[in-house]
Amino acid sequence: MAEFTPTVPARVLPPVTIRDLPDPPSSKWRIIGPGLVGAGVGLASGEFILWPYIASQVGLIFIWGAAIGILTQWFLNMEIERYTLATGETALTGFSRMWRHWGLVFVLMTLGSNLWPGWVTSSATMVSYLTGTGADSVRWIAIGMLIVIALGLTLAPVIYTALERVIFVKIALVATLILVAIAVAITAESWVELGKGLTVGAGFPVPPLDFALLMGAIAYAGAGGGQNLCQSNWIRDKGFGMGAYVPRLVSPVTGHEEAAASTGFQFAPTKENLARWRQWWRFANVEQAWTFAMVSFVTIALMSMLAYSTVFGKEGLANSITFLKAEGEALQSLVGPWFGVLFWLIGALALFASAMGIVDYTSRLASDTIKTVYLRDKPMSVNKIYFYTVWAMVLVGIGILLLGFDQPLLLLVFSASFAAVMMFVYSILLIRLNRKALPEAIRVRSFRLGALIWSVAFFGTLTVIVVIQQAQKLLGGS
């Protein structure tokens, strides 16, 4: 075969190195995990709060929105993974090759979305239900949780391994709660309503629910925003494809740092490399479908059914996160005091694990972009930048809580709406990246290209509608 010329653009960052694509491991069980981490981190605002809250207000008539959101995100995740499998670089690095500052733009948007500590205050709120300490204790519990998260993420020798273990425990706990709920709390009527709600267009809730809340729920069905982009980082740390050549992120305190190039690789499209590519691509698709998409949808559906079975139609139910307290109290009445306590306990632990994952992926995106694009010739390692970013996020979060911004639902709706704007923009960039920067044989095409175009139209429309709606509110319109 003639000498291969890389297709990855090098006008902004140094050129990639030509290397063969590694063979997939003979036993693929040991590399399953990034999809579960993505689903596990995402088992937070959408699954525990936004979708059950919608079910508590209008029933299950909008559950089709969750299915559309998750399916759209599965296609997005696969296109994010496509670039990393083929190059070992993150999608943000690929965007930065098109324009130097694209990575920074998304890092700032992710920080803007996640600096508001809505997830950790949600966990702290559920702890307050368990302890009976009341709303005054929420911010102090949340501050303590943020400090624990920072210590956990910056002292773990291999950060991905620590996060993966926390998420696996979380998923096991949530599965336990769901199985018990199916046996003792979810009603037959809710199963019927679920079937009706899966019919697209079965119902589109209007007031009393704000459109921003609905947009946020769709955007956070599964993952959302910057979390989807972090699939690049997680599969790279797990050794998928060309990511096997890139050292994993470790603690600068307890881990062993390795010297690493700030840019990635590309394989020549030989018969052997393309055969290995097909194996990697098939595995990555299946891993995402079963661990990310299926786990996310089943959890949203069953947690929404639990809310419908317990608090839907209840008079005086507050339009706030306190519906989780009402739901726990209803479970105590219907099943027994033990089940309400179990619901709050697992909910608090699950939301805490998600908060840890959110701090991790935000810091990963920031540290990788800063090192690769702006500090690639400087001695500071990506591990140290990650360390400083984690602690900076935690300290800013503590400051926000001390200033009194501790209303979880408000913070989550703000963050989720911002995430949808991000997804609109990076859907456009993924089309260009995976059409121009990769060899012809592995470029995005066909129905997958159509899915990206759908994502642009879908999240773009939602973004425009919410902007108009919020502008009308600011101007005193209806």
Over residues 341-391, the pLDDT tens digits come to: 999 998 888 889 888 998 999 999 999 999 999 998 888 888 899 999 999
Q: Is the pLDDT of residue 111 over 50?
A: yes
- Please tell me the predicted confidence (pLDDT) of residue 406: 57
Sign of CA dihedral 346, 352, 290, 74: positive
- Please tell me the predicted confidence (pLDDT) of residue 416: 61
CA distance 12 to 337: 61
The distance of Cα 107 from the centroid of its chain, to the nearest Å, equals: 14
Assigned architecture for domain 17-474: Up-down Bundle (1.20)
More confident residue, 178 or 50: 178
Q: Is the pLDDT of residue 441 over 60?
A: yes
Q: What whole-number percentage of the chain has pLDDT above 90?
A: 42
Contacts of residue 95, Cβ cutoff 8 Å, sequence gap at least 6? 102, 103, 106, 426, 429, 433
pLDDT in tens, 381-392: 888 999 999 999
CA distance 194 to 305: 7
Cβ-contact 38, 292 below 8 angstroms: yes
Run of H or E residues at 266: strand 265-266
Taking all residues of the chain, what is their mean pLDDT, rounded to a whole number? 85
Q: Is the pLDDT of residue 10 over 70?
A: yes
More confident residue, 466 or 370: 370
Q: What is the identity of the amino acid at 385?
A: I
Highest mean pLDDT among 8-22, 45-59, 76-90: 76-90
What torsion, rounded to 10 degrees, do the Cα atoms 92, 96, 100, 101 define? -30
* 187 backbone dihedrals φ, ψ, rounded to 5°: -85, 160
| Sequence spans of domains, the chain | 17-474
Q: How confident is the model at residue 478 (pLDDT cuts 50, 70, 90)?
A: very low
Q: Is the pLDDT of residue 2 over 60?
A: no
Q: Is the pLDDT of residue 1 over 50?
A: no
CA 172, 173, 178: angle at the middle one, nearest 5?
Answer: 95
Q: Is the pLDDT of residue 92 over 50?
A: yes
- Please tell me the predicted confidence (pLDDT) of residue 96: 94
More confident residue, 57 or 187: 187
Beta-bridged to residue 158, according to DSSP, are: 250
- Please tell me the predicted confidence (pLDDT) of residue 42: 73
Contacts of residue 170, Cβ cutoff 8 Å, sequence gap at least 6? 40, 43, 349, 350, 353, 354
- Please tell me the predicted confidence (pLDDT) of residue 364: 92
pTM of the model: 0.90
What 3-state class would DSSP assign to 240?
coil
Q: CB burial class (10 A; 0-12, 13-18, 19+) of residue 431?
A: middle
pLDDT in tens, 200-244: 555 555 555 666 667 667 776 777 788 899 999 999 988 899 999
Cβ-contact 61, 55 below 8 angstroms: no
Run of H or E residues at 265: strand 265-266
CA distance 39 to 428: 24
Give the residue among 5, 70, 90 at the shortest CA–CA distance from 430: 90
pLDDT in tens, 390-402: 999 999 999 988 8
User: If you average pLDDT over residues 240-267, what whole number do you get?
Assistant: 76
Q: How confident is the model at residue 433 (pLDDT cuts 50, 70, 90)?
A: very high
